[in-house]
Amino acid sequence: MVNGNISEGKRMVKDMQKLLLRAFNSECDELIDKVKYNNFDLANKRMVKSCEAISKLGRIMGVAITNQYFSLKREELCLALEYRQKKQMEKEEQKEIRARLREEAKLQEEIKEARKKIQKERTHYQNALNAIDNQLATANKANAEILLEKRQEIVNKLVDIDKSMKIIDYREANVRAGYVYVISNIGSFGENIYKIGMTRRLEPMDRIYELSVASVPFNFDVHAMIFSDDAPALEAALHRAFESRKLNMVNTRREFFNVTLDEIEAEVKKNFDKTVEFTRFAPAEQYRESLKIKENIK
């Protein structure tokens, strides 16, 4: 009773219920709003403590958070974390798609430029061949031998040009053809940390250069550059083999692994080709020069 009035007492209890519930919900909403992978355990503990504190404050009036309601709030916390992780995964997927589209656009530009260059060379040597054929029509025996020798050289050049054009046609038609690369960056990541990736670029070293200037202090060193008719399959096989050795276990699209070069080489030869050559030593020129400079400064 409040002031001898039972109705006023009931009203006070209801108001206390609303007040304590609002306080608990407010704390829970703040935790749920800010939950992340690295603070989930702390958020869960704070939610438990909040529940215990609210129940303690309402003990005299018989007010407490029920186990069922607390379980629902904790489930909401878990769902919020799962949602944020899914959103981050979606963000990474979109980022990867944009990166693939940029790579594809660069490949198409490279193919276009390569066709243009090859066609120009073909026209040049075809004109030269026509000119020699015209000269052969009126040349004497001595000059004819020299011209025939030059003619054969031009024909060989045209054969090489046709081969180059067929390679360009093949690369454009086969969307799975490309290079799987194994690179390291000792100065940035330390020993036995390798990035295993893939590129469809005609000149794969252009991709390595882009990675070297993308927010890392030193350039990458190439240990293997493997051309494959099915580069995605080879890359996927290597990633599966070293799944448990990834540096980033949360974002599975990061391609860095804590393995030895011997292990990578063995897996490549198992899945692809036993003749693939690996470069053991990583020059890491800028990193090693930086160490020498620091020693001289001391």
Same domain, 165 and 185: no
In a domain, 145, yes or no: yes
Contact predicate 258/205, CB 8 Å: no
36 and 59 fall within a common domain = yes
What's the confidence (pLDDT) of residue 80? Answer: 95
Kindly report the CATH number assigned to the domain that includes residue 125.
1.10.287
Could you give the number of structural domains in the chain? Answer: 3
- Given the structure tokens 């050795």, which residue do they identify? 245
pLDDT digits (tens, 9 = 90+) for 191-200: 999 999 999 9
The predicted pLDDT at position 175 comes to: 87
Strand arrangement, sheet containing 178-184: 221-228, 178-184, 193-199, 256-258
92 within some domain:
no
Strands (E), the chain: 178-184, 193-199, 221-228, 256-258
Lowest mean pLDDT among 43-47, 165-169, 201-205, 211-215: 211-215
The answer to the question of residue 29 being in a domain is yes
Q: Are residues 185 and 140 in the same domain?
A: no
Q: Say yes or no: 292 and 183 in one domain.
A: yes
Give the tens place of pLDDT for each residue, 181-193: 999 999 999 999 9
**Residue 108: enclosing H or E segment and its boundaries?**
helix 67-138
The answer to whether residue 1 sits within a structural domain is no
Mean pLDDT across 35-54 = 93
Q: What is the mean pLDDT of the chain?
A: 90
94 domain-assigned: no
Q: 194 and 130 share a domain?
A: no
Structural domain boundaries, residue 240: 178-297
pLDDT digits (tens, 9 = 90+) for 88-100: 888 888 888 888 8
Same-domain status, 196 and 169:
no
